[in-house]
A = this chain, B = another copy of it.
Amino acid sequence: MAADAPTVPPEFDQRLRELLRSDVEFIQLIEDDLISAGGKRVRPRLALLASEALGGVPHALELALAVELLHSATLLHDDLVDDAETRRGREAAFRKYGNAVSVLSGDYLLSRVLFLLAETGRVELVHLFAEAARLLAEGEVLQFQAAAYREYSEAQYYRIIESKTAALMRAATEGAALLGDAPRPLREALAAYGGAYGLAFQMRDDYLDLMGEEARLGKPVGGDVREGKVTLITLWLLEAYPDEVEPILLRRGREPGDVERLRGLAESSGVAARVVAAIEERVEEARRSLAALPEGSARAALEGLALAELERLQ
């Protein structure tokens, strides 16, 4: 997708490579994998665009690298959880080198996050990241716990995505405001944008996990159903058609036709359209937050990022 073309500057990848250099071969192998797999660099783009929207802030590159590495560490630790078939289009690292090395290489990334935060010289940024990292860990565990207990509710769904996704995206944009000592209304606007964008991003991801096309997704649809994760769409289907949907979710969509049936029901019932509308709301919220920022290409790019979440639903 053209909208996903990397827009981080070349210094980003160069600094990333330097930061991940280790003379421990097993670590280097995993980090090489991470670097070459690339990824959309959504979080660093948020940080860099937020910085740009403020006319540039000190240590924006360190912030961008820190959010990306915290996210990458979570991916390495998360591969154990959901046993994902593919991760950023590459075989999950742990299949090659074992869970142990994945987890510890994730810890290595976290030590680099600490280093980057220290490099900014701003202890308030360490506080901001402490909170984002706490929410991230809680969100991931909560998702696991919800699946284990089959405890599903809309409130819990929002809490999970707020914690595991939106919190770090908010730290990316709010972090730029912090580094730039931006006035409070600008900082609040950027925090609100990052949070709303993060929710839209995760809701779109969850929507396409069931409703998308495999060719565009690059993975089979219905992954969340197979992992016992209930998202907004299956939650609302469960409310509308408990007798038909509950057994499918309980058997984790294992029978032929299960996933297709959920897709069909979502379309015919209007649940899919309701979820799209809920995503639109978050996108609108993100756009509205931008009003407080000075007009310009960075603000337009942030708006474009939010709108791209809707375009991906087409």
- Which A positions have Cβ atoms within 8 angstroms of B? 22, 24-27, 73-74, 77, 80-81, 98-101, 103-105, 107-108, 110-112, 114-115, 117-118, 121-124, 126-127, 129-131, 133-134, 136-138, 140-142, 144-145, 148
Indicate whether A145 sits within 8 Å of B25 (C-beta atoms), given known contacts A107-B133, A130-B118: yes
Q: Are B137 and A115 in contact, with the CB atoms below 8 A?
A: no
- Tell me the complex Cα distance, A295–B98, Å: 49
Q: Closest approach, in angstroms, between the C-beta of A109 and any C-beta of chain B?
A: 8
Q: Are B103 and A138 in contact, with the CB atoms below 8 A?
A: no
Indicate whether A105 sits within 8 Å of B141 (C-beta atoms), given known contacts A99-B99, A123-B123, A133-B111: yes
Q: Are B133 and A114 in contact, with the CB atoms below 8 A?
A: yes
Main secondary structure of the interface of A (DSSP, over half): helix
Q: Are B111 and A137 in contact, with the CB atoms below 8 A?
A: yes
Q: Are A134 and B105 in contact, with the CB atoms below 8 A?
A: no
13 residue pairs A–B, Cβ–Cβ below 8 Å: A26-B148, A27-B137, A77-B103, A77-B104, A80-B99, A104-B141, A108-B138, A108-B141, A110-B110, A111-B130, A114-B114, A115-B134, A126-B126
Q: Closest approach, in angstroms, between the C-beta of A71 and any C-beta of chain B?
A: 12
Q: Are B27 and A141 in contact, with the CB atoms below 8 A?
A: yes
A98 CB contacts on chain B under 8 angstroms: 144
- Tell me the complex Cα distance, A110–B126, Å: 12
Q: Closest approach, in angstroms, between the C-beta of A252 and any C-beta of chain B?
A: 16
Closest to A120 in B: B123
Q: Are B101 and A141 in contact, with the CB atoms below 8 A?
A: yes
Q: Are A138 and B100 in contact, with the CB atoms below 8 A?
A: no
Q: Are B129 and A126 in contact, with the CB atoms below 8 A?
A: no
